[in-house]
Structures are given as C-alpha cells and as structure tokens.
Amino acid sequence: MIWSISWRNVWRNKTRSIVVISAIALGIFAGVFSTAFMKGMTDQRIESAIETEISHIQIHQPGFRESSEIDLLIDNSDSLINNLQKNPAIANVSRRIIINAMAASAETSSGIKLIGVYPKAESKVTTIHNKIIEGEYFKGVKRNPVVVGKKLAEKLNLRLHSKIILTFQDFEGNITGAACRIAGIYNTNNSLLDELNVYIKFTDLQKLTEIPKNTNHEIAINLYNNLTANDVSKNLSKEYPSLEILPWQTLKPELGYMSALMDVYMYIFIVIILFALGFGIVNTMLMVVLERVKEIGMLMAVGMNRLRVFNMIVLETIFLTLTGGIVGIIFGTIIAKYFSLHPINLTWYSQGLSAIGWDSRVYTSVNFQMILIVTVLVILTGIVAAIYPAIKALRNDPAEALRTE
Amino acid sequence: MSVIEIKNLHKIYNESEVKVHAVNGINLSFEQGEFAAIVGPSGSGKTTLLNMIGGLDSPTEGQIIVGGTEINKLKAGKLIDFRMRNIGFVFQAYNLIPVLTAKENVEFIMHLQGVSKQDREKRTKELLIAVGLGDRINSRPSKLSGGQQQRVAVARALASKPKFVLADEPTANLDSKSTENLLDIMEKLNKEENITFIFSTHDARVVKKAHRVITVEDGKVISDERK
C-alpha cells in the first residue's frame, strides 16, 4: 500500500510533477542521445581504422613497424598463411609488401607509403575497394596499375589513368623506380590516409623491389569477431614466438584508449546531468514534505513508523525520477536508433573531421549496457535526492504537525 | 479495571523561559466502554491532555498507564507500535489520506498491522457499512462531504480494534446534521461494541451525548461528572 500511496502522491500536484518529470526526461534524453552520438562517432572511427588501415591483427618481423626496413621480411609466408587460414577465429588474411616511396607527377611530388597487395585477398580484409570514387580497383590499366587516394590525386594533380612515377629503394638498397598508371582513386574520408597510402599489386612490387618470393612485410588478419582480437593475437604469438603479432588495440593504442576514454566521458557527462537534476528533485521533494507536514504527522500518529515514512518519501522520489528517466531513455533511444540508420550529416565540418580521420556522416550507436547503467544511475539519484527531504519528514513531531494549518 | 490511568500528570512548555503549565497535576481513570468528553475553554489543556493520553506528547511529570503499560516510558519506536495497536484517533480536520479511497483509508492501519487481505476487506466493509458509507467505499476524500469524511475517519480509528478512541474536536468542522449523525454512530458503536470514546470538545451537542463530562481549566480538572 505504501507503494501505491507513493505513486499516487507523485500525481497529487500534476503540474509540478510534470515540470520536474519533463526536466528529468530532457536531461536524460540529452545524456542518452549525446552518448549514443559520441559512441557512434568513436565506433565508426575504430571500425573505419580497422577496415581501411589496420585490420584486426597484424604480423611483422620485430622492428619493422618502427624502422620500415625493407629486409625485415616474414619468411615462409605461404605456409604461415595456410596455417592462419585454418584457424577458426580468422575470417581472411592478406599479405603485404610495404615500402616508403616518393610519388611524382608532372608537376610535383610527395612522400608516400607504397603497399603491395593481392587485390582479391586485400578486398576481403580491407574496404578500400568499396571506397573507389573514380575508376576501378586495379582494373582498366594493363601495366603497373595503382590505386591512390583522392587527397594525393588532388595534391599531385592526377586524374584517372594519369601516369605517376614512383621512386624507392629495392631489396639491394639501390634506388629504383617505376612508371605506373592510376587505375582507381579512393576516398575514405580520412585525408591523412588518402594522402599517404598508394596501393600496387603485390606481384608488381615484388618484381620491382626484387624482394624474394615467399616473403613479405606484413600479414593483415580479419577476424570473425572484433572482440577476440586480443586473445587470438596472444595465441598466435605463442605459436610463432619469433614474429611480432599484435591486435588493433596495440597497433593503434589511441583507438583502444579512445573507446575506453569515451565510455568514461559518457558516464561523467550523465553523472553531471543527474547531479544537476538531483538538486531540482531535492527542492521539489522538500516542498512536498513541507506541504504535507500535517498528513505526515497524522500517519505517524496512527502508527506509521519512521522507516515506513522514510520509505514512502524515498519511493515517491524514485517514482518521480524514474518516470522522467524512463521517458528520457525511451525518447533518447528512439531518436538515437533512428539516427543509427539515418546518419547525421556534419557536412559543415567535413573537412576538419576528415583531416583527423573522422567521418562527417555519423551513425549513432545505441549501447544497451549504457542504458541499463543510466537507469541504475537514475534510481540512485532518486534515492540520494530523497534522503534529505525524508530526514526532514522524520523530524516532524506528530503532535505539533497535527496542529499546523 | 481501568483502561487508562492518569496519575499526577504535568506538562510544562517553555521550561527554560516562562513556564506554562498546560497540564497541572491531573489524576484520572477511564473504564472500558466509557463515552467521555473533556471540555474546557481554549488553552485549558484539554488537547494537550488528549495528546498525552494518545502518546503523541510526553508528560513533564506523572504517569499514563494504558492497559497496564506505562506509555510515557516507551521508546519512540515501541510507542508508535503501541499507538497503532491500542489507540484510534479521530482528528478535527479528518486528516484522511487524500490519494486513497474511503476503503483504502480504513484498510491502511490494518495493512500496517499486517492483517491479511481477506480480513482487511471484510472488516473495512463492515466498518464503512456501520458508519453509513457502504455505498461510498471507492470514493476519494475530495468526493465526500465533511461529515462523510469524518465518518470514514471514525471507521479508520476503529479498524485496528483499539482499546479506546481519542477524538479531538471531531465535530468542530461539521454542520448540525452531520454532527448529530456522527455522534449517533459513535454512540451506537460504544453501546453495541463497548468501545471507549474520549472526546476533547467545545461542542454542547457532544457534551449532551457524553456519559461523563470532565471539565478542565488552567491544566486542572475542576469537575468530573457522570450522567
């Protein structure tokens, strides 16, 4: 019956309760939606980095990532790749030759990272082939086709099928070069990557650099489940102790931190909102207690003990807070869910976002664990906000309270 | 045997400054089934006396013994429990819980006592019929007249099967018809169920119905007449 009294008490002063509930709902809505937006942005950044740059796991010779020395090669890569493909956690594998090079057009030149790939295998590990905005992925050019980013093409004033001169060191340390033609231009919305990475066929680069057969610099692994990256890389490291086998969180630690940091920011943000709302709730409940001095006095007179009076006030506060919280969570989730299918287009900021590797089309990400935690936080806010008004209520002396008008 | 025994009862307010003897050495006892009125002018100490009998206020000196228990020695928690099980209250301003229906208001104390749902519903129905509100059990207080609300308050006071009912100016806000109706109901319950009623009142109509009239002035009993 105390539950029923508390719930009905919420609706005694409908206008006041609706104002408080609306404030709570709006605050929680803002919290849920902003966190879904921030989480969506972060997830997209991580996903995009995995899909276009790093994949889930990479294998190198120790030291290659730091020095990019051409002779730090993975030997017997055919058998290694065969073994990797048998691993049930691994979806696809792509081998790469990676060298630093200079790309020159008729007008200017730029430092680049030249990546030799098997187009078919690479397209199962990364999504560059889906980001082609002009031409095709290694098609339409017979000799030395390359795929370049939009940003580099603009910088070197290159067009589809333009000639591009690549200069680099071969395996013996001699400066060599090749005239290539642009088969495709890609755009990943990450201008850093678009300016730096140039893709060439593995066999072409192998021939040009004279790198021995059955070797390469990097093996990129795509997993069925992103969350297993750490475990799978640990197991592979045990199997191949002479190789450096790292998950994406270690390859790009800023991405791993970003995800964890974003979670912390989200909770801080929600806690600040709830903290501010808490003061409003305390104020409302103090008014409630003040208005019902006589009634509380009567309840204590007829035999309602202090614990029950305390619980009644706490429950009323929780109901008030939770009603607003649930409304906010529902609306926040519905709106966030809508924008998870229909992206928010931040076109105005696209250049700035692209310069730091972020997509300007943001798909919000609704995290149900976060919603559960927000619900618990809302209940906790209700309990904490109720304590002071409930103590005030308990201080009532029944005889005195009954005398009040 | 007395239901209530009051021995040398004193209540002094503002003890540190000007001393006001609201109750000044009262000795009284009430038997089971009494229908008594405590009368006196405003400020005579009748409400203070009633509050102390009901354990809502503590005496500065003296003893109040209810059914063998010295209630002024009970700790706060025990006292609340004692009130719930032994004393029924009827207040001047009815003091019903506005968000509950008549039925729920009556049931409320039995709920606190832990009475089973079936027994609660049975007794509530009986009481509301007894006070003539059998047809208004699902009405909220705001939909009832003052007289009807006070009748619900009487039913509520009786719900816990108390040893006695204390009614502080129960007719002060009622018109003459409602007052007569309410007094008839209480008198009937007193006669048929032997329930003890103690009123504090100014109302001559209550005094007329009462079987015992205790007059209080300046915190002292100046007369105690039985009819």
A312 at the B interface (CB within 8 A)?
no
CA distance B70 to chain A (A): 18
Q: Which residues of chain A does B112 touch, with a Cβ-Cβ cutoff of 8 Å? A: 303-304, 308
A394 at the B interface (CB within 8 A)?
no
A9 at the B interface (CB within 8 A)?
yes
- Residue A156 falls inside a structural domain: yes
Same-domain pairing of A74 and A216: yes
Cα A38 from chain centre: 8
Count of Cβ atoms closer than 10 Å to residue B218 Cβ:
14
CA distance B28 to A318: 48
- Residue A312 falls inside a structural domain: yes
Would the CB atoms of A299 and B97 count as touching at under 8 Å?
Answer: yes
Same-domain pairing of A237 and A281: no
C-alpha to C-alpha distances, A90 to A186, A238, B141, nearest whole angstrom: 27, 16, 71
Q: Which residues of chain A does B97 touch, with a Cβ-Cβ cutoff of 8 Å? A: 5, 295, 299
CA distance B70 to B67: 8
Same-domain pairing of A14 and A156: no
What CATH number corresponds to the domain at position B164? 3.40.50.300
Same-domain pairing of A19 and A73: no
* B6-43 pLDDT per residue, tens: 999 998 887 566 788 888 889 999 998 899 999 998 88
* A87-107 pLDDT per residue, tens: 999 999 999 999 999 999 888
Compare CB distances from B111 to A1, A300, A306 and report the shortest one's residue: A1
- Residue A228 falls inside a structural domain: yes
Compare CB distances from A303 to B57, B104, B112 and report the shortest one's residue: B112
- Residue A56 falls inside a structural domain: no
- Residue A100 falls inside a structural domain: yes
- Residue A397 falls inside a structural domain: yes
Same-domain pairing of A193 and A269: no
Burial (Cβ within 10 Å: 0-12, 13-18, ≥19) of residue A395: exposed
User: DSSP letters of B188-208?
Assistant: HHHHHH--EEEEEE--HHHHH
> For residue A217, what pLDDT is reported?
94
> For residue B1, what pLDDT is reported?
66
C-alpha to C-alpha distances, B224 to A342, B29, B82, nearest whole angstrom: 86, 11, 28
Compare CB distances from A304 to B56, B112, B156 and report the shortest one's residue: B112
Same-domain pairing of A68 and A160: yes
Number of domains in chain B: 1
Cα A233 from chain centre: 21
B100 at the A interface (CB within 8 A)?
yes
Determine which helix (DSSP H) or strand (DSSP E) holds B121, and give its type and residue range. Answer: helix B117-130
Cα radius of gyration (chain A)? 31
CA distance B147 to chain A (A): 19
ipTM of this complex prediction, to 2 decimal places: 0.85
Q: Which residues of chain B does A11 touch, with a Cβ-Cβ cutoff of 8 Å? A: 99
> For residue A330, what pLDDT is reported?
93
- Residue A217 falls inside a structural domain: yes
> For residue A354, what pLDDT is reported?
64
The whole-number average pLDDT for the span B32-59 is 89
CA distance A318 to chain B (A): 18
Number of domains in chain A: 2
* A390-401 pLDDT per residue, tens: 998 888 888 778
* B58-110 pLDDT per residue, tens: 899 999 998 888 988 888 888 888 888 889 998 888 889 999 999 999 999 89
Same-domain pairing of A89 and A130: yes
The two three-digit tokens of residue A98, written as one number: 């990676």
Same-domain pairing of A260 and A342: yes
**CA nearest to A309 within chain B:** B112
Cα B53 from chain centre: 9
Cα radius of gyration (chain B)? 17
> For residue B101, what pLDDT is reported?
93
Which of A193, A211, A242 is the endpoint of a domain? A242
Domain extent for A136 = 62-242
CA distance A158 to A165: 11
* A34-70 pLDDT per residue, tens: 888 888 888 888 888 888 888 999 999 999 999 989 9
The whole-number average pLDDT for the span A380-403 is 86
Would the CB atoms of A302 and B83 count as touching at under 8 Å?
Answer: yes
The two three-digit tokens of residue A255, written as one number: 């991405």
pLDDT at A355 over 80: no
Would the CB atoms of B81 and A399 count as touching at under 8 Å?
Answer: no
CA distance A58 to A84: 12
Same-domain pairing of A235 and A286: no
Name, in order, each residue with C-beta under 8 angstroms of A223's C-beta and a sequence gap of 6 or more.
A56, A57, A89, A90, A91, A229, A232
pLDDT band at A119 (very low <50, low <70, confident <90, very high): very high
Domain extent for B219 = 2-226
Strands (E), chain B: 2-13, 20-31, 35-39, 61-66, 69-70, 87-90, 164-168, 196-201, 212-217, 220-226
* A142-182 pLDDT per residue, tens: 889 999 999 999 999 999 999 999 999 998 889 998 999 99
Name, in order, each residue with C-beta under 8 angstroms of B22's C-beta and a sequence gap of 6 or more.
B11, B12, B13, B45, B48, B219
b/e per residue, A83-103, with b = 16+ CB within 10 A?
ebeeeebbebbbbbbbbebeb
Same-domain pairing of A363 and A218: no
> For residue A398, what pLDDT is reported?
80
* B196-205 pLDDT per residue, tens: 999 998 888 8
Q: Which residues of chain A does B108 touch, with a Cβ-Cβ cutoff of 8 Å? A: 1, 302
CA distance A192 to A133: 17
- Residue A250 falls inside a structural domain: no
Q: Which residues of chain B does A303 touch, with a Cβ-Cβ cutoff of 8 Å? A: 80-81, 83-85, 109, 112-113, 160
Same-domain pairing of A189 and A148: yes
Determine contact, residues B221/B24, Cβ cutoff 8 Å.
Answer: no
Same-domain pairing of A140 and A228: yes
